[in-house]
Chains A and B, each alone.
Chain A
Amino acid sequence: MPRAVRGLLIECDPSIKAMILKYDEDHHEYIVEDLDDENHLVIKESQLEALKNRLDRDLDEKIMQLDESESD
């Protein structure tokens, strides 16, 4: 019997998807359904903002930024 589930379809790069999957490992608080292709998954609607903030924070830390302090 088919079922319909409410959620947000997320489209992103594989790297971002990997990060989301990793976040979800601990408490399973984000993902409704992992869609098994490289760049899609369905998450809980209420978690979008929290997820975005967490991603932004982590990416800012992890990605090396060039030149911010380069002398003028």
Chain B
Amino acid sequence: MAASTSRPLEYLEGLPGMTFNKLYQQPSTALAIFRRMLPDLAKCFVMALLYLKDPLPTQDLELWVKAESKKQRDNALSILGRLHILSKTLTSENVSAYMVTNPFADSLRKALTGSEDSQSFGVFSQHRNEHRKSISDLDEYARRQWEGVLGYMVGTEYLKDSGHPEVSLSKGVKQLLQAGHLVEIYERRTEITKDGFAFVLQDVNTQVWHILILYVESAEAIGMDSVEVLSFLFLLSSLELGQSYEKKYLSPVQLRTLADLADFGIIYQRSPDAPRFYPTRLATTLTSDSSALSGTVGSSLNGPAGPQGASGTGSGFIVIETNYRLYAYTSSPLQISLISLFTTLKYRFPNLITGKITRQSVRRAIDMGITADQIISYLHTHAHPQLRKHNAGHSTSNTAGIPPSILPPTVTDQIRLWQLERDRLRATSGFLFKEFTSLQEYQAPCQYAAEIGVLVWKSDRKRMFFVTRHEQVAAFLRSKKEMR
């Protein structure tokens, strides 16, 4: 899950300090950031410092960590500093010390003890009605909406007749995807960009964060306070799955955000005017370590695999053999078109497609801007449990040190080699120095170039050398000449 943490973290770190001040007013934000964005050691530091009355001297804190874990300690402290959670001050004896900064400390204390009344964690709807949504309904809804978004990007239109209910996307969603350079629109035709390809092959949690950050970034442009939107997202992430929440306590900006998020399947409301909303798994897993969508639909693989049943967004529906043949137990048009990006498909059955990963199909994908690593990580994420079981058993007896791969190594290596094939030559831009009259004249500047780290190639026999930058070497030659 490390990958999905990094992007929101990077985004947050880029925000000005004032923004943090506003964000941390909300207990839900403080808790969400504490839960999701911090490494374990940083959490320990915060918890230890949270209820101290006075700042803790720096030296005392450093004593907590063994010398050999200095790197982790520095990393934790640096993250806390960058997120404006921990600040350095002086104790009354003028010793440098750490303390948890204020809006954050207050809010986190409130969140932990529940002593707050500002509806920071949403208000349960007490209303019991017959339209109540079950968790599986919500999962189904979230999955369909999210697949709709991805399907729009990769253009599954040609698979429309597969019996899946059409998902209509709002204009806002399409504009957001365009603004994020995930798709481009040429003469009313949607084309996915290189960034878009990278996006669709990521895991769902990372995708959701990517979209939400785009959303927050564009919020300002349509007249919404980005800080308010951001803290509302953190609020949503701390709601409980399967519960409905009252909308009447929300601000106009929050209501507007809510409507937009419904398009992505991040929240569910029966109609835009409904008095209640439900967070879906996409929202509630935003700041937790469990992954969205996967697992929840994985169970449908064991059941009867009708056209609706085995939609297979969940982990584990792809089997790859060492002879590059690929079997994918899915009927989802989205997954089929994703797989077809880098596979030559052969047959399609109601619940299964077969194909082969070939040099041509991989080359085609690479030409579109997909990297070999993206393909491999996609295959890895969606590998069939049987494949996991089989290869995990094999590789434990294998050489130690290499992490056991669940994909056949021949296939992953070959995909990488096919990518390398595209780069048959390595080019370095720079300058060739030549026509030195004597070996002595050649040696000095050549050595100088090596020392300043610009030398890429040299030949003593031909008295030539190649550098990436010429200014310093030229200056060196001139000064030599003047000395003579």
Contact = CB atoms under 8 A, between A and B. Distances in A.
Same assembly: yes
Interface of A: 1-13, 16, 32-33, 35-37, 40, 42-43, 45, 48, 52, 55-56, 59, 65, 67-68, 72
Nearest to A5: B432
Given A1-B437, A32-B432, A42-B466, A48 B477 contact: no
B359 interface: yes
A72 to B, nearest CB: 5
A40 B457 contact: yes
Top 9 A-B pairs ranked by shortest CB distance? Answer: A12-B425, A11-B426, A9-B428, A8-B427, A4-B431, A9-B466, A5-B432, A2-B436, A3-B435
B322 interface: no
B43 interface: no
Contact of B432 (A1, A12, A33, A59): A33
B431 A68 contact: no
A22 to B, nearest CB: 15
A72 B435 CA distance: 60
B220 interface: no
A64 B87 CA distance: 64
Interface in B337-392: 346, 354, 356, 358-360
Given A36-B462, A37-B459, A68-B358, A4 B474 contact: yes
A16 B431 CA distance: 22
Given A2-B435, A7-B432, A10-B427, 5 more contacts: A2-B437, A40-B457, A42-B432, A43-B427, A45-B429
A40 B430 CA distance: 14
Interface in B399-438: 422, 424-437
17 contacts: A1-B435, A2-B433, A2-B441, A2-B477, A4-B431, A4-B432, A5-B432, A7-B429, A10-B426, A11-B428, A12-B426, A16-B424, A33-B434, A35-B464, A42-B466, A72-B325, A72-B346
B427 A48 contact: yes
Contacts of A10: 425-427
Contacts of B474: 4
Contacts of A45: 429
Contacts of B250: none
A6 B431 contact: yes
Contact of A9 (B430, B437, B442): B430
A37 to B, nearest CB: 7
Contacts of A2: 433-437, 441-442, 445, 477
B470 interface: yes
Nearest to A40: B457
Given A35-B462, A42-B466, A72-B354, A3 B434 contact: yes
Contacts of A55: 424-425
Nearest to B367: A56
Nearest to B436: A2
